[in-house]
A and B are shown apart, each in its own frame.
Chain A
Amino acid sequence: MKRIARSTMQTAVNLVFFAVLGTAILASTFFMTHDAIIKSEEAEKLKLITQIVPPELFDNDIIQDKLTIQPSGSLGTDDVTTAYRARLKGEPSAVVLESIAPDGYSGKIWLILAVRANGELAGVRVVAHKETPGLGDYIELPKSPWIKGFDGKSREVYKEADWKVKKDGGQFDYMTGATITPRAVIKAVNKALIYFGENRDKLFVANEPKKEVSK
């Protein structure tokens, strides 16, 4: 009995030793790579943002000028997302929003869109999707310029009924055989613009970058 207890203890100590060792290695790697990971994630985000926000539209550090957005039905988001503000000489010029189209052909389509201060779209990009390769994936920029059809559009330029594919009586192009995908994207972009219209002041004003306090 004693012998069994002892060998059980030894085994347990052995397992604990390796668990502690593994945790130590992981923790140190985490701390060593943490800054580099954040940097590369920010660089990737900035690359995406500069695709849809023209450089002449902002002179601020857009990645740092962020605002937490609560989950919203209009944006299709279930979690807190981050909006980035573009400013020119301190004046807000555009805001970058994340939005999710819930009704793609194979599930959610993640979008990022930039809206100018006047409610006009500066650009839209698809960040992630599961649409059929070769069929529904023309919403990606490298595959087709379709997504650029949103540039310069707003709820002023196109009325509510225009935010549909041409087949449904709207203004947007689509490719035969894959209409569910663009329908979902157009609907999501329209809803995001409605969200922008309703929350415009909150988006731009809240959380102004701190001005230096002169003594």
Chain B
Amino acid sequence: MNLQETRDILHNGLWKQNTGIVQLLGMCPLLAVSSTVVNGVSLGLATAVVMALSGAAIAPIRSYVPNEIRIPVFILIIAVLVTVVQYLMNAYMYGLYVVLGIFIPLIVTNCIVLARVEAFASKNSALPSALDGFAMGLGLTAVLGVLGMMRELLGKGTLFSGIDLALGNMAQGWVLHIIPEYKGFLLAILPPGAFIGLGLLIAGKNWLNLRAEMRRKAAHSALDKSTAASA
């Protein structure tokens, strides 16, 4: 795995093929748990860990699995990994486990996990596959985090509420009350807030892409003119 390859994988996962705002896969957790930063980032990281592990586990065995049964075998492996993560969270991060609830086992059904295993891990070796899974997961985490930030700030006027569930009692004082005495804005907390927020994020990314494209073109035509002038 050379440097260029690593950069491509990271760029794909975090930006170009971002699962949250480009591929639009895994909408169920996106809607349900992005009501606060802590919930969104926690589920995102759990998904990233599962994706990295499943990439690493499936890539080395890919040549031993007959083509006809690869989907059941892949799903089986993903389900085992998710359940292991679920047990570990239940044992050592109980508060967070309760908050994320049903969405941890539902990582299995998040099509992005199987999609990356199918599209990447079944064609590449273990290390790049693990990196690809992790980068894709981090891309999702970033979207969940930003969306959670928007919804929590608008909906509750706070940031990082519930962080003590993830990091233990020492983090109890880390909650930021950005807008004091805020009455709350229900729409942002409820599922429509997630849809609207996600729409804004997608629009924002498209705008950035478009602007980059325009600049490139402008630079190009400027270059053309200058070469024409000098000639």
Contact = CB atoms under 8 A, between A and B. Distances in A.
Interface in B66-124: 66, 68-69, 72-73, 76-77, 79-80, 83-84, 87-88, 90-92, 94-95, 98
B83 A14 contact: no
A22 B69 contact: no
A135 interface: yes
A11 B186 contact: no
Given A15-B72, A15-B73, A26 B90 contact: no
A40 B186 contact: no
A29 B184 contact: no
A134 interface: yes
Interface in B25-78: 64-66, 68-69, 72-73, 76-77
A134 B65 CA distance: 51
B79 A22 contact: yes
A88 to B, nearest CB: 28
Interface in A1-44: 7, 10-11, 14-15, 18-19, 22, 25-26, 29-30, 33, 36-37, 40-41, 43-44
Contacts of A40: 90-92, 94
A14 B90 contact: no
B190 interface: yes
Interface of A: 7, 10-11, 14-15, 18-19, 22, 25-26, 29-30, 33, 36-37, 40-41, 43-44, 132-135
A184 B73 CA distance: 48
A14 B189 contact: no
A134 B189 contact: yes
A10 B95 CA distance: 45
Nearest to B35: A133
Contacts, number: 59
A18 B186 contact: no
Given A33-B91, A40-B92, A26 B84 contact: yes
A7 B83 CA distance: 31
Please report whether the interface of chain B is mostly helix, strand, loop or mixed according to DSSP: helix
A36 B92 contact: yes
B99 to A, nearest CB: 11
A22 B77 contact: yes
A41 B90 CA distance: 9
A31 B77 CA distance: 19
B69 A15 contact: yes
B184 A134 contact: yes
Contacts of B84: 25-26, 29
Contacts of B186: 132-135
Contacts of A14: 64-66, 69, 73
Given A33-B90, A134-B186, A10 B66 contact: yes
A184 to B, nearest CB: 21
Nearest to A44: B94
A18 B70 CA distance: 11
Contacts of B69: 11, 14-15
Nearest to A35: B91
A41 B84 CA distance: 18
Given A29-B83, A133-B190, A18 B91 contact: no
